[in-house]
Amino acid sequence: MSESFGARARKFMGWYSPEEPIDEFDEFDEVEEVAPVADITPVSRPTLTSIRRDEPAEDLTRIVTIHPTAYSDAVTIGEAFRDGTPVIINLTDMGEEEARRLVDFAAGLSFGLHGVIERVTNRVFLLSPATVEVAGDNTSGRRGSLYNQG
């Protein structure tokens, strides 16, 4: 029979010795085991539904004004707004960098709770819950104006 590729390569490289048995088999006869197939039942995904607490605007009895001095005051802002209370944030006592972080937090908070953030002055912002409508000078054109700066 002819020599296997491995035996010819060893002979060519000088690694072959006559005492070494010549392997005449290039392939193994293996039987592949077949794994059992399990029955798969498709699982339906649950339908996600947004639940909003729509309370009448007539129940509005207070507005919270917060003068934050540090970013840690964001907790107070978040808790008041989460409870459905409009929040006025006066950033005049904060540094520029921390004020920017707090405005970013407030924008995310209002977006997450379906509210609106509006710039009243350069350093004063109003967070209005979804159940509160703000009326005043040109507010209909300003709703969401914080995001539409170009």
* Farthest-apart Cα atoms in the chain, separation: 103
Is residue 138 domain-shared with residue 64, that is, in the same domain? yes
- 128 located within any domain: yes
Domain that holds residue 85: 59-142
- 39 located within any domain: no
Is residue 74 domain-shared with residue 122, that is, in the same domain? yes
User: What global pTM score does this model have?
Assistant: 0.53
Is residue 77 domain-shared with residue 117, that is, in the same domain? yes
Burial of 115 (0-12, 13-18, 19+ CB in 10 A): buried
Identify the pLDDT of residue 123.
92
Is residue 19 domain-shared with residue 64, that is, in the same domain? no
- Ordered DSSP codes for 74-135: HHHHHHHHHTT--EEEE-TTS-HHHHHHHHHHHHHHHHHTT-EEEEEETTEEEEE-TT----
Q: What is the CATH number of the domain that holds 111?
A: 3.30.110.150
How many domains in the chain?
2
Is residue 64 domain-shared with residue 130, that is, in the same domain? yes
Is residue 131 domain-shared with residue 71, that is, in the same domain? yes
Q: Could you report the per-residue pLDDT of 125-137, keeping only the tens digit for each?
A: 999 998 887 777 6
- 51 located within any domain: no
Q: Could you report the per-residue pLDDT of 33-86, keeping only the tens digit for each?
A: 777 777 777 766 656 555 555 555 445 678 889 999 999 899 999 999 998 899
Identify the pLDDT of residue 148.
45
Per-residue burial over 32-52, b if 16 or more Cβ lie within 10 Å, else e, is eeeeeeeeeeeeeeeeeeeee
Identify the pLDDT of residue 97.
92
- 122 located within any domain: yes
